[in-house]
Amino acid sequence: MPERRSPRTLRDVSHLFLSGTEPARRAAPRSTVCVWIAVVGASLNRAHCAAGVAAAFARQGMCVSLLEVCRGLPNIGYYFGMEPAAYLAPTLDRSELVSGAWNGEIRFCFSADPAAFERYRGEDLPPGAPHVIVAAFSYPPERAAARFLGGLRRAAAAMSDEGTALGQLPPDAIIAAGCRESAGRARALTAGMRDAFPHAAIFLLGDDMNAGRADDADEVLAIPADLRASWARRLPPVDRVFGELAAGLLQVVSLRRRKGSGYAASG
């Protein structure tokens, strides 16, 4: 596994995300990055990881919209302090869309049905700050993947300033997350995502990433062994790995945009 890079914060690289002079920034459309967290393996806590990544962006003053396709437990409502009657609703009715906000920093919603997110009517985004859309999901069987990912792109668009008028929003960055038992599948997923979204930054996250190589990933990060100790806490986890992951993703996306790819233009 590659060694962790030197510590970075989003403040260290956020200047790459916004280009031009200060007056030009204020006049420009909001800059938006769409990040997917694709989880493979039932023993990895999807919501815990998603809440940690979202909170890492929010701690640096960025607008964060977090959505989770929660076909089963867990879901992000648990980590943002919702009562069980609210966060368990999608397990009883797949079409149910539950939304909320946390500490004025993160707006979030979750449903078992990707199409439900097109009904999202949450709080308006604060003006000025760049926007990060984080979409967390368990990767579906291959036979259903194409349809599911199409629905996910529409769900991400619904969380942007333009809403459903944008149509679809492809990922700028993808986190393939796998536990020890599913590390091989997570690596296969990075290869598939590289083919499907060649302009996206690909990161591999897992708790046993020493075996084999990850040539299709831009970076590989290991989940700390003690991170599971915070699974039961009803708060977004705080760990260095999430800060490194968020900063690394932003840095790679920013540099690619600066090279003039034109992909995933500002929302």
For residue 61, what pLDDT is reported? Answer: 78
- What is the pLDDT averaged over residues 140-167? 85
| pLDDT of 10 higher than 60 | no
- What is the pLDDT averaged over residues 238-260? 89
Computed over every residue of the chain, the mean pLDDT equals 81
Under CATH, which number does the domain 34-94+107-115+130-258 receive? 3.40.50
In the chain, what percentage of residues exceed pLDDT 90? 41
| pLDDT bracket for residue 47 (50, 70, 90) | very high
Task: Give the residue ranges of DSSP H helices in 9-79.
Answer: 10-17, 22-27, 46-58, 76-79
For residue 1, what pLDDT is reported? Answer: 37
| pLDDT bracket for residue 16 (50, 70, 90) | very low
Residue 35 three-state SS = strand
* Alpha-carbon 207 to chain mean position: 18
For residue 265, what pLDDT is reported? Answer: 41
For residue 225, what pLDDT is reported? Answer: 84
Domain regions of the chain by residue span: 34-94+107-115+130-258
For residue 74, what pLDDT is reported? Answer: 67
- What is the pLDDT averaged over residues 119-127? 85
Report the alpha-carbon angle 178-180-182, nearest 5.
50
Judged by average pLDDT, the poorest of 46-60, 80-94, 131-145, 181-195 is: 181-195
The single-letter code of the amino acid at 98 is V
pLDDT tens for residues 185-218? 777 788 788 888 988 999 988 875 554 455 678 8
- Between 144 and 180, the higher pLDDT residue: 144
| pLDDT bracket for residue 153 (50, 70, 90) | very high
| pLDDT of 267 higher than 50 | no
Beta carbons within 8 Å of 125's beta carbon, 6+ residues apart: 30, 63, 65, 107, 131, 161
CA gap 17, 263 in Å, rounded: 13
Instruction: Match 């090279």 to its residue by tokens.
Output: 259
Residue 63 three-state SS = strand
| pLDDT of 176 higher than 70 | yes
* Alpha-carbon 38 to chain mean position: 8
Distances (CA, A) of 146 to 102, 193, 235: 32, 11, 33
List the beta bridge partners of residue 220: 204
List the beta bridge partners of residue 67: 109, 135
| pLDDT of 163 higher than 90 | no
- Nearest Cα neighbor of 49 from 63, 32, 35 is 35
- Between 231 and 210, the higher pLDDT residue: 231
Strand duo 98-102 + 32-40: pairing:
unpaired
Strand duo 131-138 + 98-102: pairing:
unpaired
Q: Residue 106's CB: how many other CB atoms inside 10 A?
A: 23
CB-CB contact of 157 with 134 (8 Å):
no
- Nearest Cα neighbor of 230 from 220, 244, 240, 215 is 240
